[in-house]
Structure 1
Amino acid sequence: MSTYFIGDIHGCYEELKIILAKVKFNAALDTLWLTGDLVARGPDSLKVLRFVRSLGDSVRMVLGNHDLQLLAVYAGVSHNKLQDHITSLLEAPDSDVLMHWLRHQPILQVDEERKLVMVHAGITPYWDLSTARQCAQEVEMVLKSNNYALFLNAMYGDMPNNWSSGLTGLSRLRLISNIFTRIRYCFPNGQLEMHYKDTPEKTPVNLKPWFALGGPISDLYSIVFGHWSSLMGQGTPKHIYGLDTGCYWGGQLTLLRWEDKTFTRVPSEL
Structure 2
Amino acid sequence: MTQWAIGDLQGCHQEFELLLQRLDFTPGRDVLWLAGDLVNRGPGSLECLRLVKSLGDDARVVLGNHDLHLLAVAEGFSRHKRSDTLTPILEAPDREELLDWLRRQPLMVDALVGNRRTVMSHAGVLPSWTLDQAAGYAREAHAVLAGDDYRGFLGEMYGNTPDRWQEDLEGTPRLRCIVNVFTRMRFLHSDGRLDFAAKEGLDSAPEGSRPWFQYPRPEGAWDDSPRLLFGHWAALEGEAPAARQDVEALDTGCVWGGGLTALNLETEERVFEPALISR
Q: TM-score, normalised by structure 1?
A: 0.96
The equivalent position to 1:246 in structure 2, one of 248, 253, 274, is: 253
SS of 2:79's equivalent? coil
Equivalences for residues 182-193 of structure 1 within 5 A: 182-193=184-195
User: Which amino acid is the alignment partner of residue 233 of structure 2?
Assistant: W
Equivalences for residues 1-270 of structure 1 within 5 A: 1-112=1-112, 113-216=115-218, 217-218=221-222, 220-234=225-239, 235=241, 236-270=243-277
User: Which amino acid is the alignment partner of residue 82 of structure 1?
Assistant: R
Q: Does the Cα contact within 8 Å between 1:8 and 1:37 map onto a contact in 2?
A: yes
Shift of 1:204: 4.0
d(CA) in 1 for partners of 2:176 and 2:73? 17
d(CA) in 1 for partners of 2:222 and 2:91? 41
Shift of 1:64: 0.1
**Identity score, percent:** 44
d(CA) in 2 for partners of 1:193 and 1:203? 9
Kindly tell me: are residues 13 and 204 of structure 1, through their superposed partners in 2, closer, same or farther at Cα, counting changes over 3 Å?
same
SS of 2:110's equivalent? strand
Q: Does the Cα contact within 8 Å between 1:126 and 1:163 map onto a contact in 2?
A: no
Q: Which moves more between the two structures, 30-39 or 220-229?
A: 220-229
d(CA) in 2 for partners of 1:232 and 1:52? 23
Shift of 1:195: 1.3
Shift of 1:226: 0.1
Shift of 1:202: 4.2
Q: Which moves more between the two structures, 154-163 or 167-176?
A: 154-163
> Structure 2, unaligned stretches of length 5 or more?
none
| Structure 1 or 2: more helix by fraction | 1
Q: TM-score, normalised by structure 2?
A: 0.93
Shift of 1:108: 0.4
SS of 1:60's equivalent? strand
Shift of 1:178: 0.3
d(CA) in 1 for partners of 2:192 and 2:226? 19
User: Which amino acid is the alignment partner of residue 178 of structure 2?
Assistant: I
Q: How many residues align?
A: 270
Structure 1 vs Structure 2 CA RMSD: 1.3
Residues 143-178 of structure 1: CA distance to partner in whole angstroms, max 9, x if unpaired? 112221221121111110111110000000000000
Shift of 1:193: 1.2
d(CA) in 1 for partners of 2:206 and 2:78? 33
User: Which amino acid is the alignment partner of residue 10 of structure 2?
Assistant: H
Q: Does the Cα contact within 8 Å between 2:127 and 2:217 map onto a contact in 1?
A: yes
Residues 81-100 of structure 1: CA distance to partner in whole angstroms, max 9, x if unpaired? 23111101100000000000
Q: Does the Cα contact within 8 Å between 2:198 and 2:204 map onto a contact in 1?
A: no
Q: Does the Cα contact within 8 Å between 2:130 and 2:222 map onto a contact in 1?
A: no
d(CA) in 1 for partners of 2:101 and 2:190? 38
d(CA) in 1 for partners of 2:18 and 2:41? 19
Shift of 1:205: 4.7
d(CA) in 2 for partners of 1:190 and 1:34? 27
User: Which amino acid is the alignment partner of residue 14 of structure 2?
Assistant: E
Shift of 1:214: 2.9
d(CA) in 2 for partners of 1:148 and 1:232? 34
d(CA) in 2 for partners of 1:267 and 1:116? 26
User: Which amino acid is the alignment partner of residue 48 of structure 1?
Assistant: C
